[in-house]
Structures are given as structure tokens and as C-alpha cells.
Structure 1
Amino acid sequence: MSPAVFAHGHLRLYLLRLLVERPMHGYEIIQALTDSSGGTYQPSPGTIYPRLGKLEEEGLVTKTADGRKTVYAITDAGRAELEAREPEMAGIESEFTDSVRRLADEVRASVNDAMRTLKADLAAAAREARTEASEAARAARAADDPRAAARAQLHEAEAALSEFRAEMREELRLASADGTLTGDTVRLLVDGLADVRRRLVARLRD
């Protein structure tokens, strides 16, 4: 969570400073704060209205109905409060400026992170698109060229052989390590491979 933009008690003075310019309704006050920060700070109604209510209780602002809106205006007591604490306003303005810069830095960092993530996603999508295009091209070539189809079948056969070899090698090593590898098992493998080899050779030479 980001630190507070205003220190304790400073937002109420800033609200009085805004209302010195002219009476405003709540949304206008929120918009004025948002505009002052270049859009990096947008206080919620839950932040602004309770403070306006407190200022009203203290007699520093008044509120009047204007149709469906409530308009807030600074009172003479509010002006006196603001004048009495005018020396603090320079510090509050500086505090607000520093907070806005910090928020802007956070926004930039967030945007940079989002851009990096977007670039990674786009790169992954591009790789997937290239792979799909390559596979589609191979399929198209195989459909039009018997030799291309044969090469594709060769790749599939070699992949199956590699997978079989890797899996069986691991199983044999595990069986050897725990002492369960027997001569019968090895003979089953040798005889089975010899049978498959004979059948395949016969099919290929037919």
C-alpha cells in the first residue's frame, strides 16, 4: 500500500484552500485534487466527505443543496483558520508535490512492468504462431509431396524409438539398482526387439 498523500490534518487545510477559490460540490473537490496531481491521486468519496462533514461541524464550511448536489463553501471562521495557518501551507504544498512525484514513479514502474509482461506474452504468442505456421506448412507439403510425407513419417518413427529407448533405459537402470533385473527380463527385451525388427524389415522391404 502506498503511503498517505497528506500527513495527518493536512488534507483538511488543503480542502479549505480549494474552497477559498469558490464554492464546490463534492465531485468538483475530488476533481480539483485529481487535476492538481495530474491524475495520479484521485481521492475516494470516503476520504473527502467525512472530512468535509468534520469541517462543517467545526463551523469552517457550510453546505447547501443545489438540486441533487450539495455545495460546500468556506465560512469566515474557515478563512480565519486558513489565514492563521498560512505558514503551514507552503509545507503542505511541497508535501503534496513530493507525494505526486512518488505516485508518478509508482505508476511508471507499474507501466514498465506491464510493458515487459506484454512484450513477453507477445514474444511467446509469436513463437507459437511460428510453430503452428511451420507445422501447417509441413502438413501442406506432405499432402502434395510423397517424399515430404515419408520424411514426416520418418521423424515420427525416430521420435517413437527415442522415447522407447529413453523410457526402457531408465526402467532397466532402476531395476538394476534395486536388484530386480533378471536374465529373463533381459531375454524378453532382446527377443522382443529382434521380433519387432524382423517384422519391420519385412514390411519395409515388401
Structure 2
Amino acid sequence: MRFQRENLHRGHHGGHDARMRGHGFPGGDFGGFGWGAGGFGGGPGGGRGRGGRGGRRPNVRAALLALLTERPMHGYEMIQELEQRTGGMWRPSPGSVYPTLQLLEDEGLIASTTEGGRKSFALTEAGQAEATEAAAQAPWSAFEAAGAVNSWQDIREAAMGTMNALRQVLRTGSDDQRTRAAEVLDEARRKLYAILAEDPETR
């Protein structure tokens, strides 16, 4: 009997879940997050986030060298700095940062000192030339162009808030509430495509 009741419940809400999946949302408890497989800010490679306007992920090596022209830093501090300077659009993973730091140290371009159990990195004389060149075209500058940092961060925060609200509707909403939520998503999708259809020169 329990099996039959569970199947009946799933069938009752199946139409709503299927409709939500049509918008890119998983059905049921909505365990996933974000549109598409990667979610917001997801992606393979050098960490969470997307690239600049061209969509290419920044060069970790150049970014670390550029940061070290300012002052010595430890690895986690560099990760935080890059996330902050790109408005949360790019946060390189420890798995890409620390091996790169080790490589730079092996090449003699940076040197490390350990204090209080924390390793700090600084440029050597041999690393000054490449670091200065990297800083002249800082990898995070692509995110700052034309307000890209603020606009992406605003959209990301708004989208995450919408996802949280939608999760509650899917988990606790009535049939009518789920239907109305799907209608809201339909309308939002149409308006987003309408924005894309506008002439940028007239905005």
C-alpha cells in the first residue's frame, strides 16, 4: 500500500515537475542548483566562475604574478583577492593555485617563507620582468570593463534569490501555487529574450 501511495503522489505532481524541468530546473525536491549542469558560477578547469567578455578563463600564472607585484601574499589570500577583484565571477581553485605557485618557485620567479605555519610568497629579482608584464594587463581587468563586475554580480544575486524562492514553492507549494510559479517563469523567460532582441544602441 505504501508503494502505491508513493506512486500516486508522484503521478499527481508529475505534470508540475515536468513543466519545471522544461525551464531547466530539476523536478521533485529540487536538489540541484542553477540553470544547466554547472549551476551559477560553475565550470570545469581553474575554479569556480566564468571568464571575461570572451568567456575564456583567466591565466592563473599571470594572475598570481600580477598580485605579487603589490606585496607578498599567501595562497589563500591570492584566491580571495582574485574573487574580490572579479566581483565573484572568478575564484581559482586551490588545485590550480598551489601547483602554479610551486612551479613558479621551482622556476626561481618567486620565493616562499613560512611563518606561523603559513607559507607566504614574494617575487624574486628573476620574476620581476614577467610579473610586471602580467600586471600591465592584469587578468582581472577584463571583468571590470564597462561595469561587467557589478552587472554580473547583481544578476547572480538576483538569480540565486529567485532560485531559493522557487525551491520553497516546489517543496511546499500547492498545485495552484506550482502552476502560478511556472507561469511566472514563462513570463520571465519571454522578457529576457525580449531584452536580447533590443537594439543595444537604443538602450
TM-score norm. by structure 1 comes to 0.48
Higher helix share: 1
The higher-RCO structure (CA 8 Å, 6+ apart) is 2
Query: Greater CA radius of gyration, 1 or 2?
Result: 1
